[in-house]
Amino acid sequence: MAEATVSLRKLAADAKQFARRLLTIGENRLELLAVEAQEERDRLLQAVLLALGLAAFGLLATCTLTAAIVVLAWSWCPVAVLLILAGLYTLAAFWLARRLNSLLHDRQAFSASLDQLKKDRVGLETILQ
């Protein structure tokens, strides 16, 4: 009977230790997820600010260049010059839209957290077998 009591106590102690380790692993993974979420938020904010600056200065440069080209080519054919410039700007807009689309779909967020959770699952499966 004493041996069964000792065995039950050891089993209870092992269960507590396993639960503590499991909670520690969960806590570490949540901290990693929080850090990655913060990094993603910072990266997104930086990208938005850079895109706004790029758009503002790009628009100013394009307007100035367009005005200069139209003034220089006014005597030749002003409508043709405006149509050519509009076509070039449309092509540039389509190219930028494709690049933006590929940028948004190529990156996988929280990849380190997902990798760690997969490793944890494999480790738990190994322990529990």
User: H helices within the chain, ranges in order?
Assistant: 2-72, 78-106, 111-128
Confidence (pTM): 0.49
Q: Do residues 81 and 65 touch, judged by C-beta distance below 8 A? A: no
Q: How far is CA 98 from CA 40, 48, 91, 95, 108, in A?
A: 22, 17, 11, 5, 18
Taking the C-alpha atoms of residue 32 and residue 30, their distance in angstroms, rounded to an integer, is 5
Q: Residue 103's closest CA among 66, 61, 51, 54? A: 51
- Per-residue model confidence as pLDDT tens for the chain (129 residues): 567 677 878 888 888 888 888 888 888 888 888 888 898 899 899 989 999 999 999 899 989 988 898 899 888 888 888 888 889 999 998 998 899 888 888 666 667 777 777 887 787 777 766
Domain boundaries, the chain: 2-128
